Amino acid sequence: MMKYAFCQQTKRGELDSLEINHPLFKATILLQGAQIIEFSPAQHDCLNALWLSPSAHYKSGESVRGGIPICWPWFGAADKNPASVRDNIRHPVAHGFARSRVWQLKHIKESCHQVEIVLRLSSDADSHEYWPYDFELEAKFILGKTLTLFLITHNTDHRIVNLTQALHTYLPTSDINCTYINGANNTCYIDAMDQWRTKSQQGNIHFNTETDRLYLFNQSPILQAFTPHHKLTLHNFNSRSAVIWNPWTEKSKRLSQFNATDFKTMFCIETANVLEDSVTLAPNTCHQIGMQLIIES
C-alpha cells in the first residue's frame, strides 16, 4: 500500500484492516466485508459511535458482530425475499455473501476535512456459486465529523438483476430501556416477531422485547435515535425501507460473538432496500444506497 498521512494497513486477528487516525476522528475498516467497525469522532471524546461486540472475533470468512456489516445481494433469510430475488439464490447464506468476502482497496483520498476510501468487490467463480450474476460493487466511505457510506452496485451482467440489501448499522446505547427512535410515526412495518404481520407504527419506536421489524416509507427517511447520552441521526439515501432490530434476552443467548447481556447496550437501524423496495437493475446501470450518521451529545 502507498504511504498515507492518516491511513495505514494493519491486521485485526486474521483480518486485514485499514486504521485511520485523523485529527477529526479515528476509524477502522476491515477489508473483509468492507466493514467499518469503529468510527470515533474527536469532538465526542473519541468514543466509538458504532457498537462493536466485546466478544467480536476477527476470523476469515466470518462477519464480525458490530459496526456496519453490508448485507448484499440479499437481505436476511433467502426464503423471506421477493420471488425475483429468492429464485436466483444458489447458496442461501443469511444476509448474502458480500459481508464475508475480502474486498479490494480501490482508492484513498485524504484532506484535513475528511478521508474518502473506496473498496471494491467484483464477481468471480466463487461469487457465482452463491449468485449467478456479474457485478461490480463499491463501498465508498466519507469520514470526517460524520460517517457517510454509499454502496454502489454496477450491473455488469447482460441480464436484469433483482436484489435486496442493507447497511446493517449497529449503534451503542448505555441503556436500551431508555432508548427510542423517532421518524417512523404512522408508517407501516412488517413484524418478523409476529408472523410477518403488517402493522402501523404509532409514535416513537421503543425497545421492551425482541424487536425485528421491516419499516416501509414513502421516501428515504431521516431516523433519529435518542439514547441517554447521545442523539444519533441517520440520513438515508435511495432507501425507502429500514430494519430495526434488537435480539433481547432469549435470542441473545443464541447469537454468535454476543454476550447474553449485550442486548442492553446496542440496537440496529439498517438502511435497506427490502420487500417492495427491492432493487431492479437493467444491464449496464447502477444503483447507490447510502447513509450518513451524525452524532450529537
Ligand X SMILES: O=P(O)(O)OC[C@H]1O[C@@H](O)[C@H](O)[C@@H](O)[C@@H]1O
Task: Cell 438502511: give the residue.
Answer: 271
Q: Which of 94, 160, 193, 260 binds ligand X (CB under 6 A)?
A: 94
How near is the Cβ of 110 to ligand X at its closest, in Å?
Answer: 32
Q: Which residue's CB is nearer to ligand X, number 7 or number 151?
A: 151
**Which is the catalytic residue, given 270, 276, 287, 296?**
270
Applying CB under 6 A, the site for ligand X has a residue count of 9
Nearest to 121 by CA among 154, 169, 158, 161: 154
- The residue among 189 and 245 lying less far from ligand X, judged by its C-beta, is 245
Residue 189 as a binder of ligand X (CB under 6 A): the answer is no
259-278 residues in contact with ligand X (CB under 6 A) are: 270
C-alpha span between 181 and 207 (Å, rounded) = 9
The residue behind cell 447502477 is 286
| Stretch 159-188: interaction string toward ligand X, x if CB under 6 A | ---------x--------------------
Pick the closer one to ligand X by CB: 140 or 168. 168
Nearest residue to ligand X, by Cβ distance, number only: 94
The verdict on 16 binding ligand X (CB under 6 A) reads: no
Residue 243 binds ligand X (CB under 6 A):
yes
In the bound state with ligand X, the residue whose beta carbon lies nearer, of 95 and 230, is 95
d(CA 250, CA 8): 40
Strand order across the beta sheet in which 35-41 lies? 7-12, 15-22, 25-30, 35-41
Nearer to ligand X, 76 or 183 (CB): 76
Site of grid cell 441480464: 159
Q: Please pick, among 168, 230, 235, 276, the residue that the annotation labels catalytic.
A: 168
Q: What is the distance between the alpha carbons of residues 172 and 174, in angstroms, rounded to a whole number?
A: 7
In whole angstroms, how close is the CB of 223 to ligand X at the nearest point? 15
Does the annotation mark 168 as catalytic? Answer: yes
Residue 52 CA from chain centroid, whole number: 13
Active site residue 230: no
Tell me, residue by residue from 68 to 87, as one string, x for binding to ligand X by CB under 6 A and - for no binding: --------x-----------
| Residues engaged in binding ligand X (CB under 6 A) | 76, 94-95, 168, 212, 243, 245, 255, 270
Catalytically active residues, by annotation = 168, 270
